[in-house]
Structure 1
Amino acid sequence: MGIFKRNPFGHILFLKKFLIRFLGLVTHARYKRFNKLEIEGSEVIRNLPDKNVLFVSNHQTYFADVVAMFHVFNASLKGRDDSIKGIQYLWQPKLNIYYIAAAETMNKNLLTKIMAYVGSISVERTWRAEGKDVNRQVKMSDISSIGKALADGWVITFPQGTTTPWKPLRKGTAHIIKKYQPLVVPVVIDGFRRSFDKKGLRIKKKGILQSMVIKEPLEIDYENESFEAIIEKLEYAIEQHPSFLKVIPQEELLALEEENKLRKFRNTN
């Protein structure tokens, strides 16, 4: 095997390691110099098992969120305490980190295909396709791919399936949790939609305080808790339950909505 050793998805690990190093090098300043990433929970990462861990997070951009997690997770494993100081932590990165993403997004161009090689589990969305609402069955091969990734390592998922805040969580996440019984780790992020464009590729504004809070794993009764109960538990954990709207100032919500409208306008030009 040697240099051509592959992961369960057929990706050459040496090439994957090179891509993680390269992408980490070119993106590090986006969280360390142009903007500041405040981290909480590095010790949680270090105490996790090597496999069957599902990270569940709110979502703010297509790519900046998950790239930041690759930085934080690897830095934490290399002994950094709530910091991504010094890019050396990516010299020997954890190669069994995966993230769930829409297949149509990951197949758009060369950059997204490179991002997919780094660790995407590309799935077919059942509710949205090519900008239109759809209603189609879940592909069992997609569920199997997620199970394969969990058996090999860590998986990151954004169960709202959109970068728009306060949207309901997709029940498919609860099905995955009950079927594969992973350790579920909530992650709450903020500041990414203010500092990046919607895709998370272009820096929209500098000097923004970004944050990532990694919480302790959830206690879940895999056998007896209903899908609805698990979804509600996840909504509270990633701070996207509707009740959180009651404690957010109205002016902040209005400002966020205006920002989303401007972003949509820019994306159509």
Structure 2
Amino acid sequence: MGLFKENPFGHILFLKKWLIRIMGMITHSRYKGFNTLEIEGSEVIRNLPDTNVLFVSNHQTYFADVVAMFHVFNASLSGREDSIKNIGYLWRPKLNVYYVAAAETMKKSLLTKVLAYAGSISIERTWRSEGKDVNRQVKMSDITNIGIALEDGWVITFPQGTTTPWKPLRKGTAHIIKRYKPVVVPVVIDGFRRSFDKKGLRVKKKGILQSMVIKEPLDIDYDNESIDQIIEKLEYAIEQHPSFLKVIPKEELLAYEEAHKQRRWRT
């Protein structure tokens, strides 16, 4: 790899590699030390093609979720079986992994700009801006950039667009799936909301069992399934379909909502 070789977004791969190594070493203890990350599905990661893969996940913090996925994906590709033990896997990280994030979030500080360089596809949210509800058109350049990232490698997206559980999925994800026909891999995470603050930068509580389940790719009829059918399939796959609410105790749902209110006022 040439010293100044760039990815399609103009990011120097040599620099990106070192950012992933350094950030990986700094954050590793958050998932194997302060807390414990339980993983299922490493074999799924190893069987995926090198490009045009879309990971679709529920969302619990701004950054801790995606950082954990960088750890798990690279550890799995290095042959570790459902484990991130021994951070040697960071030496040769997969550099064509991207994640979808709100542009306004990624511009807020030097740290978020560093995280953005490591793989963010920054998009303008159509429903929310600077803490206020908005209603604006999707930027076609955002859709195009996601397509460029899929052509180059793997993309992680959180289609609910919020860390609040049980919110409807944004239909833009289904449009991307129908347009670019990626391999769609569902990911279900838990424990991150209890471990970290809302931003996922500060360890809020230690000794929490976190979990990440990587499921087999979805069987999608790209040409014949409707947007709504794909959305419903995604909701079931990441365990955020409204039917899941019927089996969750009311007290637990109230606790979720109260926790989110408290985090909102503290941030």
Q: TM-score range by the shorter chain?
A: over 0.9
Secondary structure of residue in 2 paired with 1:2: coil
Aligned-pair identity in percent equals 83
In structure 2, the residue matched to 1:71 is 71
How far off is 1:98 after superposition?
A: 0.1
- 1:204 partnered with 2:204: yes
In structure 2, the residue matched to 1:242 is 242
In structure 2, the residue matched to 1:213 is 213
In structure 2, the residue matched to 1:223 is 223
Q: Distance between the aligned counterparts of 1:143 and 1:134, measured in 2?
A: 19
Deviations 1:201-231 (A, max 9, x none): 0000000000000000000000000000000
Any residues of structure 2 matched to 1:1-269 within 5 Å, and which?
Answer: 2-267=2-267
Q: Distance between the aligned counterparts of 1:119 and 1:188, measured in 2?
A: 21
Q: Distance between the aligned counterparts of 1:197 and 1:47, measured in 2?
A: 33
How far off is 1:265 after superposition?
A: 2.2
**TM-score under structure 1 normalisation?**
0.98
Tell me the amino acid that sits aligned with residue 103 of structure 2. A
Secondary structure of residue in 1 paired with 2:256: helix
Q: Distance between the aligned counterparts of 1:102 and 1:137, measured in 2?
A: 15
Q: Distance between the aligned counterparts of 1:177 and 1:226, measured in 2?
A: 11
How far off is 1:65 after superposition?
A: 0.1
Secondary structure of residue in 2 paired with 1:217: coil
Q: Distance between the aligned counterparts of 1:139 and 1:76, measured in 2?
A: 34
Q: Distance between the aligned counterparts of 1:234 and 1:92, measured in 2?
A: 31
Q: Distance between the aligned counterparts of 2:103 and 2:259, measured in 1?
A: 27
Deviations 1:24-58 (A, max 9, x none): 00000000000000000000000000000000000
Deviations 1:96-145 (A, max 9, x none): 00000000000111000000000000000000000000000000000000
Secondary structure of residue in 2 paired with 1:262: helix
Tell me the amino acid that sits aligned with residue 225 of structure 1. E
Secondary structure of residue in 2 paired with 1:32: coil
Q: Distance between the aligned counterparts of 1:33 and 1:174, measured in 2?
A: 37
Q: Distance between the aligned counterparts of 2:222 and 2:95, measured in 1?
A: 28
How far off is 1:68 after superposition?
A: 0.1
Greater Cα offset, 154-163 or 252-261 = 252-261
Structure 1 unaligned segments of length 5 or more: list them.
none
How far off is 1:251 after superposition?
A: 1.5
Q: Distance between the aligned counterparts of 1:218 and 1:73, measured in 2?
A: 18
Cα RMSD of the aligned pairs, angstroms, is 0.7
Point out 4+ residue stretches in structure 1 off by more than 6 angstroms.
none
Q: Distance between the aligned counterparts of 1:23 and 1:185, measured in 2?
A: 25
Greater Cα offset, 1-10 or 34-43 = 1-10
Q: Distance between the aligned counterparts of 1:48 and 1:240, measured in 2?
A: 24
Q: Distance between the aligned counterparts of 2:20 and 2:150, measured in 1?
A: 20
**TM-score under structure 2 normalisation?**
0.99
Tell me the amino acid that sits aligned with residue 169 of structure 2. L
